[in-house]
Structure 1
Amino acid sequence: MRKLKLNYKYQQWLWGYIFIFPVMFGFFFFMIYPMSYGIILSFYKWSGIGEKQWVGLANYAKMLKDTHFLKAVWNTIYYTLGILLIGVPLALLWALLLNQKFLKGRVIFRTIYYLPVISMMAAVSMLWKWLLSPNHGLVNLILGFFGLPKVNWLLDPRWAMPGLILMSIWKGTGFNMVIFLAGLQGIPKVYYEAAKIDGANRWQRFRYITLPLLSPTTFFVIITTMIHSFQIFQQAYIVTEGGPREATTTIVYYIYKNAFEWFNMGYACAQAVFLLVILLLATLIQMKFQRRWVFYG
C-alpha cells in the first residue's frame, strides 16, 4: 500500500514537471541564456562577426564618458516621469469615472478607451506622426481653435519628447485604467456605506477609503509602467528616429543603433546591462518604501 502511494506521488511529480517543461525551456532558452550571454559580451569588443576581443570594463568606462549615452539616459528618465506623473493619474481618473453606476454606456466607453491598447504600436506611431504634423496635424488644429499658437511637435527639440509622451499616454492609458477598475471593484461596499453613515463626504471617502485600499493596485501600476517606459523604442524609432538633435534618443534606441547600425555589440550589451541594473535598483527601492504607503489589509 505504501509503495502504491509513493508511485502515485512520483507520477504526480513527474507529470507536473512534464507540463511545466515547455515553459521553463522557453524561459531559459529565450530569456536566461540571452541575458547571460549579453552580460558576458559586455566585457568584449565585438562587431557581431569575427573574433571577440577582451576589454574588461572598458565598455562601462566608455559609457560613463559618452555624452550621447548620457543624453539618452536623461531622455528616458524624462519620458518615464512624464508617463508616471500624467498617464497614471489620468488612468485612475478614467477608472473612477467609468466605475460610476449613474454613467450610461459604461461598457462601451471602457471598450473605446481600451482599443488603443490592442492597436499595433507601428500603426499608432504612423497615426500620431500625422496628428502631430505642424501644418496639417489635428493636434495643432485643436490648439488653433482655442487661439493657441501652433507647436512644431516633431521638429522642435523642446516639444518632440512631450509629443511622444502624449502619444504613449493615449496608447497605454486604457490598460492601466482596466487594472484600476479591477482594483476599485474589489473594494467592499460596506466601507463606503459606513463612511456615509458617519457623515463622510465624497472627497473624504476617496481620501481615506479608496486610495488606501487601492494602494496595492497603484503600486503594481507604477512598477509595471516604469519598467515599460524605460524600454521605449518603437515610438522614437518610427516617429522621430531619435531626433531632432537627439531629443528623443532613448536608452533602447541608442542600444539598437550601437548594435545594428554601428555594430558595436559589446558596447551595446554594456548599455543593456546598465538598463537592467537601473530597472532592478529602481524596483528594489520602490519595494522597500512601499511599506510606508501600500496597505494590504
Structure 2
Amino acid sequence: MLTDRRKELIAALVLITPFLVIYGWMFVWPTIQMVTISFTNAPLIGKGDWIGLDNYRALLADPVFHTALWNTSYFVILTVVPGTAVALLIALMVSRLRGWLQSLVLALFFLPFILPVTVVYVIWDWLTNVRFGLLQGVIEPLAGRNVNVWRTLPWFMPGVALITIWWTNGFSILLFLAGLRNIPRDLYEAASLDGATRWQLFTRITWPLIWPVTVLCLTIQLILQLKIFDQVYLFAQGGRTRSTMVMVQYIYETAFQRNQGGYAATVAVMLFIIVAIFSVLQFQLLRMRGAR
C-alpha cells in the first residue's frame, strides 16, 4: 500500500509540475518583482535606488490616486450588482423560451461579448454623437438638450458603466442559464401542485439553488471591473482624463508616460491588494449567506 501511494504521489507531482513551473514563472515571480520595485525609484526599464516606503507615503497623499480610487469604486458600484441582476433577469426570460428561438435570443445577447473593445467604442461613440447620434433622441428629453456624454463629467461614468454591462453580460447570462438548467423540474412541478405562485417558485426554489452561480458571477464581475481600463481610456480621449482616471489607467500613465516604474509598481501593488481583499471577502460573505 505504501508503494502504491508513493507511486500515486510521484505521478501527481509529475502531472502538476508543468503547471507549477509556468505559474511560478508567469505570476509568482513577476508579483515578487513588482513588490520589490515598488520600494525603489526605478524607471520603467532599468534599476533604481532603494527608497523604502517613500512611494507608499507619496501615494497616500497623491490626489490623483484618490481620484482614481474613487472612480474605480464608483464604477464597481455601477456595474457589479446591477450587471449581475440584469444578467439573471435576462437568463430567467431566455430560459422560458424553447428551441431555435431560445438559441437566437441567447446569441443576440452574447454577441456583444465577443466584440473587441475598439468596436464597442466606435459603435457607442456613433450612437451618442451630439450631432447625429440615434441615442440623442432619448438623451434630449431627459437633459433638455443634446449632451456630449463623453465630455460631460456626470454622464461619463454611468455611460461607460451602461456600455460595460451591455458588452460583458453575455458571459454571466450563460452561467445563469447553466445553473437554471441544473435545477430539477420536479421541484417546480411539486411546488405548483401545492399552489405556489411564480414569486414563491423563484424565492423558495430558483434563488436558493442558483445562489452559488450568483456568487461566482459577482466575484468574476468584481475582479473584472476593479481592473477597468479600456473603455474609460477610449471614451475619455481628448476629454477630462484626470477627472475620469481609474486605477489601471493611472498605472499606465505613471509607467509608460512619466517613466516612473517604481511608483507605478506601488499603485499596482495597492490595486492587487484591493482586488485580493475584496474578492476573497465578497466570496466568503456571499458563500456564508448561501449556507444559511
Fold conserved between structures, TM > 0.5: yes
Give the match for residue 221 of structure 1: 217
Give the match for residue 119 of structure 2: 123
1:93 and 2:89 matched = yes
Give the match for residue 28 of structure 1: 24
Give the match for residue 73 of structure 1: 69
Deviates more, 1:128-137 or 1:263-272: 128-137
Deviates more, 1:124-133 or 1:75-84: 124-133
> Residue by residue, what CA displacement relative to the aligned partner does 1:205-255 show, whole Å, maximum 9, x if unpaired?
111111111111101111110000000111122221494253321000001
1:52 and 2:51 matched = no
Q: Distance in 2 between matches of 1:48 and 1:143?
A: 43
1:265 and 2:242 matched = no
Q: TM-score w.r.t. structure 2 length?
A: 0.91
Q: Distance in 1 between matches of 2:89 and 2:99?
A: 14
Q: Distance in 1 between matches of 2:143 and 2:41?
A: 55
Aligned residue pairs total 292
Match of 1:244 among 221, 240, 245: 240
1:230 and 2:226 matched = yes
Q: TM-score w.r.t. structure 1 length?
A: 0.89
Q: Distance in 2 between matches of 1:103 and 1:95?
A: 15
Aligned-partner residue type, residue 256 of structure 1 = Y
Q: Give the 5 Å matches for 1:173-252.
A: 173-241=169-237, 243-244=239-240, 246-252=242-248
Q: Distance in 1 between matches of 2:216 and 2:26?
A: 25
Q: Distance in 1 between matches of 2:125 and 2:233?
A: 12
| CA apart distance, 1:95 | 0.2
1:279 and 2:275 matched = yes
Aligned Cα root-mean-square deviation (Å): 2.5
Q: Are the counterparts in 1 of residues 140 and 147 from structure 2 also a CA contact under 8 Å?
A: no
> Residue by residue, what CA displacement relative to the aligned partner does 1:30-62 show, whole Å, maximum 9, x if unpaired?
111111100111111111244411111111111
Where 1:277 maps in the other structure, the secondary structure is helix
Give the match for residue 289 of structure 2: 293
Give the match for residue 159 of structure 1: 155
Aligned-partner residue type, residue 215 of structure 2 = F
Unaligned runs of 5+ in 1: none
Pick closer, same or farther for the CA change 1:273–1:52 going to 2, 3 Å: same
Q: Distance in 1 between matches of 2:129 and 2:222?
A: 28
Give the match for residue 58 of structure 2: 62
Unaligned runs of 5+ in 2: none
Aligned-partner residue type, residue 186 of structure 1 = N
Where 1:199 maps in the other structure, the secondary structure is coil
Q: Distance in 2 between matches of 1:18 and 1:228?
A: 33
Match of 2:133 among 131, 137, 146: 137
Q: Are the counterparts in 2 of residues 125 and 239 from structure 1 also a CA contact under 8 Å?
A: yes
Aligned-partner residue type, residue 124 of structure 2 = W
Is the helix fraction higher in 1 or 2? 2
Percent of aligned pairs with the same amino acid:
32
Give the match for residue 101 of structure 2: 105
